[in-house]
Structure 1
Amino acid sequence: MRIHDLTQDLEAGIAAAERAVRDGHLVVLPTDTVYGVGANAFAPAAVQRLLEAKGRTRQKPPPVLIGRVGTLDALAIDIPGWLRRMLDELWPGALTVVLRAQPSLTWDLGETHGTVAVRVPGDERARRLLDVTGPLAVSSANRTGEPAATTVEEAQEMLGDSVAVYLDGGPSGDAVPSTILDITGTTPRILRQGALPLERLHEFNNTIEPAAGE
């Protein structure tokens, strides 16, 4: 287990994390919301290691972070025009979108039922890492049931030696997680209300339904 201070040597930290991901290990990285724990999205054993580190079952597959909007078409299908306009404006940012996965993808994120949750994070350091690793399966850096980590120290306390490399980017910019928008049903709907309010999403599609109970 190694901790790299990104404020001191960004390139060394990115390189160490890239090697760890390539070797099938877990990394903790800062994002624009809370800290995340990530694994190679195309390495089933690494994704399983992520789920076990969090104490999570395959029934709760992790989202996938990508470095740029242009990668989306390689991972998902049936992307409507209104969503493309939304993502062009709101990505990078705190919006996760659940879409139909490309059927040709050879990965195993868990019981996804043919869907994938995707986000381009607003943190430039996270995108630098994604540019060299490719898509990462990333979940909040915490044990299931515990608060999401907003510092690398909190992440280390919960995840310990299950993570090979910790990237310390200082306190996270926002403790509020991303908003999750599901467009795979008949009507698009919010699964989790997070940093982006429904009113902002309605600027692109006013049929989006709020999260249950709101």
Structure 2
Amino acid sequence: MPRASDSDAEAVRVLGTGGLVIIPTETVYGLAADAGNAEAVAAIFEAKGRPRFNPLIAHVADAMQAEAVALFDPRARALAEAFWPGPLTLVAPVRDRTGVCDLARAGLDSVAVRVPGHARARALISAFGRPVVAPSANRSGRPSPTTFADAVEETGFAARAAINGGPCAVGVESTVVSVLDGRVALLRPGSVTREEIEALVGPLARFGEGGGEGHRSPGRLTLHYAPDAPVRIEAADARGGEILLGFGPGAGDPRWSLSPTGDLREAAANLFRRLREADRERPTGIAVSPIPAHGLGEAINDRLRRAAGYVG
């Protein structure tokens, strides 16, 4: 069972002494550390079993703190003004290499930064006064935790404090967009959709191409977000011993449905929780109904392809 939630003051104290803290965001729960403390950042990689070539996102309290560590051009500022606080990460040239250490940036000359939409996360970062890195609070490759209990189950052993912010409202990791050399590219889809971004800054590089900048974003491993049971996608029904995660009216058992009404936001919010719940039943496999590819469906399908170990 998860321990009781710690106070924000205790979490700030732990961060200041180089410890790890489980924090809520609107996307998924994160395992946080001082972004400028290389030893604390190394502890995150160790706790998660995460490869060190995979950069981390620096979470900041506001756009001013973001521009203290990253160099924004006019399009980056426009995106920040439109979607922050919220589930959008911007990858831009690094300004302050000490505020977000080399290990956190995977040795790159860029930095990934966002202002989370969760008010308690922002308050915690503001009280700490410096950026924190906060990758999903799961062991690397597993489904991201969207509840406090799942976060503590995954990486509570490594955290010296944990903040219970309730269930995550979005349920999939942030959209990642690079703004480098005058070009804007989608590196990872999320709940801020391609259509919303393109309405503001024009056409993006196609996902999967990423303008050659994919290595600057987390969440790009071929096998990622995966439960123990094998995942089969675009399934019409369940085979022997499988659990079907349905989408839309009449698709499988309603208690396992991602969204009985076919609502993409509901499906995103339920995705990782349903994968975890189904996996606890020890099925022979987890089948998932087809998900539309438009809007938020792009992000859901990306996570499902990676959970199945297939990125086409």
User: Structure 2 length as normaliser, TM-score?
Assistant: 0.63
- 1:105-136 alpha-carbon deviations (Å, 9 max, x no partner): 36231524111100000000000000011210
Q: Does 1:124 align with 2:119?
A: yes
Aligned residues: 206
Compared CA separation, residues 14 and 4, structure 1 to 2 (3 A)? farther
Tell me, which stretches of 5 or more residues in structure 2 are unaligned?
210-297, 299-312
The equivalent residue for 2:198 is 202
- Give percent identity, aligned residues only: 33
The amino acid that maps onto 2:23 is L
Q: Secondary structure at the match of 1:18?
A: helix
8 Å Cα contact 1:3-1:168 kept in structure 2: no
Q: How far did 1:158 drift?
A: 1.2
The aligned runs of 1:144-183 (5 Å cut-off) are 144-183=140-179
- Which structure exhibits the higher relative contact order, with contacts defined as CA atoms closer than 8 Å and separated by 6 or more residues? 1
> Could you tell me which residue of structure 1 aligns to residue 257 of structure 2?
none
Partner of 1:42: 36
Q: Equivalent residue for 1:61?
A: 55
The answer on whether the counterparts of 1:30 and 1:172 sit within 8 Å (CA) in structure 2 is yes
Aligned partner of 2:110 among 106, 109, 115: 115
Whether the 8 Å CA contact 2:22–2:156 is kept in 1: the answer is no
Q: What is the match of residue 20 of structure 2?
A: 26
**8 Å Cα contact 1:64/1:135 also seen in 2:** yes
Contact 1:187/1:207 (<8 A) preserved: no
Q: Shift in Å at residue 175 of structure 1?
A: 1.0
Structure label with greater radius of gyration: 2
- Residues 180/98 of structure 1: CA separation in 2 closer, same or farther (3 Å cut): same
Q: What TM-score does the superposition give when structure 1 sets the normalisation length?
A: 0.90
Residue 183 of structure 1 aligns to a residue whose secondary structure is: strand
The answer to whether structure 1 residue 75 and structure 2 residue 55 are counterparts is: no
Which ranges in structure 1 are unaligned for 5 or more consecutive residues? 6-11
Q: Deviations over 1:148-197 (max 9, x none)?
A: 00111111111132111111112111212110001225631111111111
State which of 73, 80, 86 in structure 2 corresponds to 1:87: 80
> Do the aligned partners of residues 210 and 45 (structure 1) sit closer, same or farther apart at CA in structure 2, a change above 3 Å counting?
same
SS in 1 for 2:163: strand
Runs (4+) of structure 1 moved beyond 6 Å? none
**Could you tell me how far 1:82 is from its partner in structure 2?**
2.2
Contact 2:68-2:96 within 8 A present in 1 as well: no
